[in-house]
Amino acid sequence: MARIDINCDMGESYGNFKIGNDSAIFPYITSCNIACGFHGGDPLHIEKTIKGALAYGVQIGAHPSYPDLAGFGRRNMQVPEEELRALVKYQIAALKGMVESLGGQLRYVKPHGALYNTAAHQTVEAMAIIKAIQEVDQSLYLMGLAGSPLEQLAIEKEIPFVAEAFADRKYMADGRLRSRSKIGAVIDSPDEAAQQVVDIVLRQQVETYEGEPWTLKAQSICIHGDNPAAVAVLQAIDSQLAENDITKVAFSHA
C-alpha cells in the first residue's frame, strides 16, 4: 500500500490579519509547518496553532523565513550566510521552545517562500539553514524541494531530508516551481490538485506547465494554507487517496 505525508503551512495569521483557515485544515493533514513570526504568525497565533496540532495528532515543523512580514516572506533578500544562519536558528529555537512548553516535540524544519526556493538551489542559503539546524537539534529533519541540489547537500551533511512536492503549484520544465508572479503558478482546482497528488505518489511524476512530464519522488506533499481553495483541495485529495488505496501518514512514521 502506498503512503504519503500531507503537510500545510499554518499559523500565519498575526494581529488582526487572518491568513488561512487552520481549524478547518487540521483534520486533513499529517504534518504542519508553523510560521515563526518573520513572514507571518505572532506568539498568540503560533501557540494556538501548536495546540491545534497537538489536539489533532499532527506532526509539527518550524517554518522559518526571511525577515519579510510586509512581503509575506516571498521576496528575495540578500542576507550574508552568518546573519541568515542566526535568523533561521532564532526562529527554529523559538518554535521548538514553544512546542516543548506545551508537551509536544518539534520534528522538522521547512523554509518558507523565497528562502525555500533560494535554498533549494543556492549553497549559501542552504548551508545557513543546515548549520542552524545542526546548532539547535541534529535530530530535526529538513524538508525541501524534491530532486533539488539541497537534497544532495543535506545528505552529504548528514541531515535527514524529507523530499517535498506540491499539490497546488505548477512545475516548470526544469523541476522548479513556477513563479507566483506568473499566470498559472497556483492550482486552485481541487480536482486538478488531487490528480497531481495521485500522479506524484503512484507514478512519481507531474505534468509541467509546458505540458511535459517531470519525474520526482516525494515523501511529503504540501498544500498552502493561504490558498483560498485549501480546504476544498484537501477534501478532493482525501477522496482520491481513498479511491487509489493510498494511506496518509506522517513521514517520520512511514
φ, ψ dihedrals at 234, nearest 5° = -65, -40
| 26-55 residue pLDDT tens | 999 999 999 999 999 999 999 999 999 999
Task: Say yes or no to pLDDT of 90 above 90.
Answer: yes
Read off φ and ψ for residue 30, nearest 5 degrees: -115, -15
Whether 6 contacts 30, CB under 8 Å: yes
Using the structure block, give the residue that is written with the C-alpha cell 503558478.
Answer: 185
pLDDT at residue 253 tops 80: no
Which candidate, 130, 222, 109, 216, places its Cα nearest to that of 173?
Answer: 216
pLDDT band at 1 (very low <50, low <70, confident <90, very high): confident
CB atoms within 10 A of CB 167: 28
Question: Sorting pLDDT into bands at 50, 70 and 90, what band is 254?
Answer: low
Mean pLDDT of all residues in the chain?
A: 95
Q: What average pLDDT does this structure show over 174-200? A: 92
Over pLDDT 90: what percentage of the chain? 89
Q: Which three cell numbers stand for residue 184?
A: 498559472
Distances from the Cα of 221 to the Cα of 28, 32, 45, 70, 167, angstroms: 12, 11, 24, 27, 6
CATH of domain 2-253: 3.20.20.370
Q: What is the pLDDT of residue 206?
A: 92
CA gap 225, 193 in Å, rounded: 14
Position 123 pLDDT exceeds 80: yes
* Extended beta strands in the chain, E state: 2-10, 31-35, 59-63, 106-109, 141-145, 161-166, 205-207, 213-215, 220-223, 246-248
Question: Which of 63, 66, 68 minimizes the C-alpha distance to 49?
Answer: 63
Amino acid of residue 143: M
